[in-house]
Structure 1
């Protein structure tokens, strides 16, 4: 007997979809290639549109209690520290119907996983690396895993990220290309940084071809940092992340203002990861037969608008609603694709423009231009729980 639904990938998008379907009583399996789910990533920004989606999934209240709600996002000149833009978010909740949150990615991931396990303890299957997808005579999908096992599914969803096997096997689409940018990510404790530097709000330091971002998570107990830089060499690592060298980061950002460098100086003993940033235009189609893709598998985008996680959550909620609200998988998948394509295309384009704006040759130009954020672009008004399908 084929599984009704198979979700490949237990990242934020895959778990969000699985949780939504489990809440509606649908049986499913989530196949994840990692042998165990360990603490992953660092900080994640969740704009109001993402928070509304998480509320639909029943985890919004818990997330809001554990996340930080930054009052401001201050963009500063990399060298002299001059404030170029001071964007206030103190009334975001009232204006947009949900707060702008910043959280530890592992906290969100764990919350989704725990809620799914409470509903369907056997839904998540670890250590299942997908290698191939084929059709059986009855019309189901046959999934082949690297350990030699197989599974079958009537409906297949690829939430397996940048190097999606579902995208390759079902849609015959190539992987994203390296953008020429890398990002170093890490966390610094309040004890390491000191109370004076562990203040609320986000700070973004911009320079030509470089950017340094810092903000608190876990109610200020940790300071998340992301250091972006354009590089001349390509990306040769087998995966899309590798262990980072904090001394190399300090060297690349040695000419930045001390409010940026103090975070790098304070870093000690934690894990610094170096990520290659990859992108490609959204797929020409997200649905083929009874298979669909979501999140980075469908539309990997650069992080300059901070909408990557939000788009995966929106995709998951819209796909979940489509499968619940419409009879027949074919109609549900058609509704999902139609509801998402235009919005994601716009946000993908604006994400590209965001990098051009932030890391232009003259950082002072930012102060002379209109402020551009998710809110000013109108992206945060969107509610995936009520969007017409």
Structure 2
């Protein structure tokens, strides 16, 4: 769909958004279409790449894409009609009807990026400081942008959040998410059939693995064009976290070792564990994955999302565990509700206050729910902070 420049009004605000990934684009599009003068600053110099691969396409995300005339959701989603639980030997332990819709990070990102005006998306421009009292964003190199509102949509490692709330620290769990995607065409027919039209799970002792089909790398959703996305939540008991999060260049990473950067001994050990603890079909999928990766699981929550004329959005404010399948939906909701609040309130300050109250409450509840799902349902735990 073509980019649309909205008509400016007397109440239009100048908005500077730090971060041009999903959260920044959701906010940018919602505010732009509502008539505000929006510029996105993205520190990367090239197209962003997904490290998350698969996404549960919650209704809020699909509604956002449709209402803003970005894409018909069915064009970039796959679906399942059954939730299936396997036993260790691979037999079906239980199943039930359950309609789910899935997509991929890259499919959604590309459509959002295409929908936002190119001349308002500044690549290679990193916001290095924010002055909330004057809504001033300082760009690397020394230039400043004075706006009416600064939105920090910088992800879970937001530098703006660290400056505004230096006391807020991530609380890391004692388990991690091993992840990967495999082109459907690389898998045997019987393996594909095990996941076709199904959301498949296996829960063992201190572990949970799940998988579902998502659009292919080029966005294809027809049989043969798709990819299988899998996530394996696994304990760190008797494992060396530092060793796992040291990448192939011997660089220790805090939260993610991206695709292609796992050290060979780490990958071999996890494949050996797969052979010992997973049902055969999941062992096969893990072994067929060319570039698996690992992510830390952590909780993060700010006490409020606004400080004067600056606000935090998406993962910059709250990081909920992926069990909630709501991270993308929350980012979309934050952006849409910010635009709504500015339209419905008499002043920007009243709008930010109203938005802050409702979205902070929602984010706090989401983080708490994710923690319960990990600690109670999966019988996994959080390290003392």
Coarse TM-score class (shorter-chain normalised): 0.7 to 0.9
Within 5 Å, give how 1:34-53 maps onto structure 2. 34-41=44-51, 42-53=53-64
How many Å apart are 1:345 and its aligned residue? 2.5
* Residue 273 of structure 2 is aligned to residue 263 of structure 1: no
Distance 1:50 1:284 in 2: 25
Contact 2:89 2:280 in 1 (8 A): no
Structure 1 residues 267-295: Cα deviation after superposition (integer angstroms, max 9, x where no partner)? 23xx3222122212x31111110111121
- The residue aligned with 2:118 is 121
C-alpha displacement of 1:249: 3.0
1:309 and 2:328 correspond: yes
Instruction: Identify the residue that residue 112 of structure 1 maps to in structure 2.
Output: 112
2:234 to 219, 226, 229: 229
| C-alpha distance after superposition, 1:2-44 (max 9, x if no partner) | x811111122121111011111221111111211123313111
Give aligned pairs, total.
339
2:137/2:150 contact within 8 Å kept: no
* RMSD across aligned positions (CA): 2.3
The change in CA–CA distance for 1:227 and 1:291 in structure 2 (over 3 A counts) is same
Distance 2:378 2:204 in 1: 5
- 2:153·2:314 contact (CA, 8 Å) conserved in 1? yes
- What's the TM-score, normalizing by structure 1? 0.80
- Residue 44 of structure 2 contacts residue 123 of structure 2 at CA under 8 Å; is this kept in 1? yes
Q: Which moved more, 1:213-222 or 1:100-109?
A: 213-222
Residue 189 of structure 1 pairs with residue 183 of structure 2 = yes
Q: SS where residue 302 of structure 2 aligns?
A: coil
From the superposition, tell whether residues 311 and 83 of structure 1 become closer, same or farther in structure 2 (CA, over 3 Å): farther
Change (3 A) 1:323 1:313: same
Residues 117-152 of structure 1 deviation map (CA, whole Å, 9 limit, x = unaligned):
xxx2212111222322236xxx52332333444333
Question: Does the 8 Å CA contact 2:299/2:371 hold for their aligned counterparts?
Answer: no
Distance 1:17 1:44 in 2: 19
Secondary structure, aligned partner of 1:327: coil
Aligned with 2:256 (options 230, 236, 241): 241
Aligned partner of 2:273 among 239, 252, 255: 252
Residue 6 of structure 1 aligns with which residue? 16
Gaps of 5+ in 1: 91-99, 362-389
Tell me, which stretches of 5 or more residues in structure 2 are unaligned?
Answer: 1-12, 216-220, 246-251, 381-385
